[in-house]
Amino acid sequence: MENRLDGTYVVVTGASNGLGLAMAEALLSQGATVAMAARPGPKLDQAVEKMQKAGLSAVSLPLDVRSEESVRSAAEWVRTEWGRLDVLINNAGIGMRTVNPDFLTEPQPFFKIQPDKFRDLIDTNVTGYFLVSREFVSLMAERGKGKIINISMNYETMKRKGFVPYGPSRAATESLSYIMAEDLKDYGITVNMLLPGGATVTGMIPDEVREQLEGKFELLDPNVMADPIVYLASGESDGITGERIVAIEFEKWLQERGI
């Protein structure tokens, strides 16, 4: 039986764990060839090895989204080895734990955040999406087709107490996404956003904090992203652009559009 993504070449950033790993596995299971991109190290090596042992077409793509040189090198690898790119998924990011490890239980006001921590998160979560998209988009524009999917998060988090700079970083990437969608219409490239729809069980929430949250609200499994990411990467979503899709409401989103 033919898979939905046979012959599809995909790059997923931040693919060594969390949402990125879950999305990479979902895409691979449907026949895609996936470059799992992340900063080099044991975590990336182990994630790729696990997929390869399962017989899936995963390759390792060392990439630091904050570095123009690293991004350029990764794009050159894709051009040389694949000669094309069908789908780019911008997911790499860091969370509030890098600024305040106790952000969920003891939120800090913005004026207590250290400037270097603020810059580091913005460089990763916002500038990273820009640098990666800027470099890889030429591989799609040359063919007059392609799909970019930018991972975001809830509006509530953009306004939540103690969530500077993570909240502003994702608000910025959503604005970037809408503008990218308009800029790339003439090139045959679509740009959409996907978000889980709530806090998920990822490395962005420390284990000790997760234990404190148990019973207060339910954390989503990263696999909630599987069905919508496969849909967005497939030909089924051709022509759809500028959309913001919430994973937990994906079935409702499809029904509302008669899909």
User: What tens digit of pLDDT does each residue of 40-53 get?
Assistant: 999 999 999 999 99
Listing DSSP states for 145-175 in one string gives -EEEEEE---HHHHH-TT-TTHHHHHHHHHH
Domain hosting residue 111, numbered range: 9-256
Percent of the chain at pLDDT > 70 equals: 93
In a domain, 4, yes or no: no
Return the percentage of the chain with pLDDT > 90, whole number: 88
**Residue 36's beta-bridge partner residues?**
12, 60
Query: Does the residue 2 lie in any domain?
Result: no
Interval 168-189 mean pLDDT: 98
Strand 58-62 and strand 87-90: pairing?
A: unpaired
Q: How far apart are CA 205 and CA 207, in angstroms?
A: 6
Whether residue 22 is contained in a domain is answered as yes
Q: What is the pTM of this model?
A: 0.93
Confidence at 219, pLDDT banded by 50, 70, 90: confident
Give the total number of structural domains in the chain.
1
Give the separation between CA 219 and CA 213, rounded to whole angstroms: 9
User: Does any domain span residue 251?
Assistant: yes
Residue 239 corresponds to which amino acid?
Answer: G
CATH of the domain at 167: 3.40.50.720
Residue 210 lies in a domain: yes
Q: Indicate whether 208 belongs to any domain.
A: yes
Compute CA distances 39 → 63, 90, 191, whole Å.
Answer: 5, 14, 24
Name the packing angle between helices 128-141 and 166-183 (round to 10°).
20
Average pLDDT over residues 19-26: 97
Asked, for residue 1, whether it belongs to a domain, the answer is no
Question: What is the pLDDT averaged over residues 125-140?
Answer: 98
The yes-or-no verdict on residue 180 having pLDDT over 90 is yes
Retrieve residue 3's tokens: 């898979």
Please check the confidence at residue 207 and state whether its pLDDT lies above 70. no
The rounded distance, in Å, linking the Cα atoms of 52 and 33 is 11
CB 210 within 8 A of CB 199: no
Q: What would the two tokens of residue 173 be?
A: 């990437």
Tokens representing residue 12 in the block: 């997923």
Let me know if residue 54 belongs to a domain: yes
